[in-house]
């Protein structure tokens, strides 16, 4: 479905964007880790989205907007990378988390953790995996929608989500050990 330009298109765009605005902001914030940059990124994505709204196929607005936002972020990141900023989105270079050696943080432990602890652990998950986990677990996108948003094959999404959760588990595990929720394994 292609939308007609004009007042109705703008109203339609605004209505749909307002509904997913918290999701856009949330993803932007978790990507940039900075309120100001997140707001800039979100605004730019919205402007780009409005600019390209007549090319929206009408299928999944949230996935479409998230794709715009993540592409913007990645392009911005690539520019930073070219200028020498030391961050990486390359999942090949991301070190796999160590296999769980001790107890896994179970549901009860996860429940006892504060939101800030989970947020902090999530922040330490490498970029591309974190994004897949956020889109799937927090924003509730299906794998197919995540694949659309990130413009990657569905198999890659599956892999990123599993690996992202493994990283998250490792982060939570070390936090749980620090807090004494679980014991360190004998070998450590």
Query: How far is the C-alpha of 24 from the C-alpha of 160, rounded, in Å?
Result: 20
Q: Is the dihedral of CA 93, 34, 31, 79 positive or negative?
A: negative
Under rule CB under 8 A, which residues in 43-62 are in contact with other proteins? 43, 46-47, 50-51
Distance CA 46, CA 52 (A): 10
Query: Which residue's CB is nearer to other proteins, number 77 or number 145?
Result: 145
By CB under 8 A, what part of segment 13-42 binds other proteins?
A: 13-14, 17-18, 21-23, 25-26, 29, 38-39, 42
Binding to other proteins in span 74-113, by CB under 8 A: 104, 106-107, 110-111, 113
Contact (Cβ atoms closer than 8 angstroms) between residue 170 and residue 70: no
- 3-state DSSP percent of the chain in helix, strand and coil, to 5: 70, 0, 30
The contact set with other proteins (CB under 8 A) reads: 5, 10, 13-14, 17-18, 21-23, 25-26, 29, 38-39, 42-43, 46-47, 50-51, 104, 106-107, 110-111, 113-115, 117-119, 122, 133-134, 136-138, 140, 142-143, 158-159, 161-162, 165-166, 168-169
């Amino acid at each position: 479905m292609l939308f007609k330009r004009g007042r109705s298109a703008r109203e339609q765009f605004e209505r749909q964007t307002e509904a997913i605005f918290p999701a856009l902001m949330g993803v932007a914030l978790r990507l940039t880790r900075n309120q100001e940059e997140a707001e800039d990124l979100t605004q730019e994505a919205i402007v780009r989205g409005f600019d390209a709204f007549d090319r929206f196929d009408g299928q999944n607005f949230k996935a479409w907007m998230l794709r715009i936002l993540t592409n913007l972020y990645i392009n911005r990141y690539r520019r930073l990378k070219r200028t020498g900023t030391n961050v990486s989105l390359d999942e090949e270079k991301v070190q796999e988390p160590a296999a769980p050696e001790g107890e896994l943080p179970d549901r009860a432990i996860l429940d006892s953790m504060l939101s800030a602890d989970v947020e902090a652990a999530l922040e330490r998950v490498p970029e591309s995996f974190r994004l897949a986990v956020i889109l799937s677990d927090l924003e509730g996108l299906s794998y197919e929608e995540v694949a659309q948003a990130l413009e990657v094959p569905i198999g890659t999404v599956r892999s990123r989500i599993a690996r992202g959760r493994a990283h998250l588990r490792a982060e939570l595990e070390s936090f749980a050990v620090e807090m004494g929720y679980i014991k360190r394994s004998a070998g450590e």
